[in-house]
Amino acid sequence: MTYTLVKCYSPYISKMDPCPPMLKKCFSTPPNLYIPFQPYNSEQFPTAREALYKGTLWTCLYDPYPLKREENLE
């Protein structure tokens, strides 16, 4: 199964809008949307400290959320 963690779309651009148009907007989706159930024997982070830092115990559910404003302007 393939999926992307970042989705992009082109919003409606009005002639009457006083702001400069944003031609492309992107947003992040969490990995748990694409996993219908927790797989048996899922890989876990090696230490509790690392799991707490990442916010999840399982590596398949970790998402670093790399989305930044500069990437939206592509």
Instruction: For residue 65, give both structure tokens.
Output: 């959320």
| pLDDT tens column, 17-56 | 888 998 999 888 888 888 888 788 889 999 999 999 988 8
Spatial distance between the Cα atoms of 44 and 60, rounded to a whole number of angstroms: 8
Domain boundaries, the chain: 6-72
Phi, psi of 42 (to 5 degrees): -65, 145
Instruction: For residue 42, give both structure tokens.
Output: 């899922």
- pLDDT value of residue 24: 92
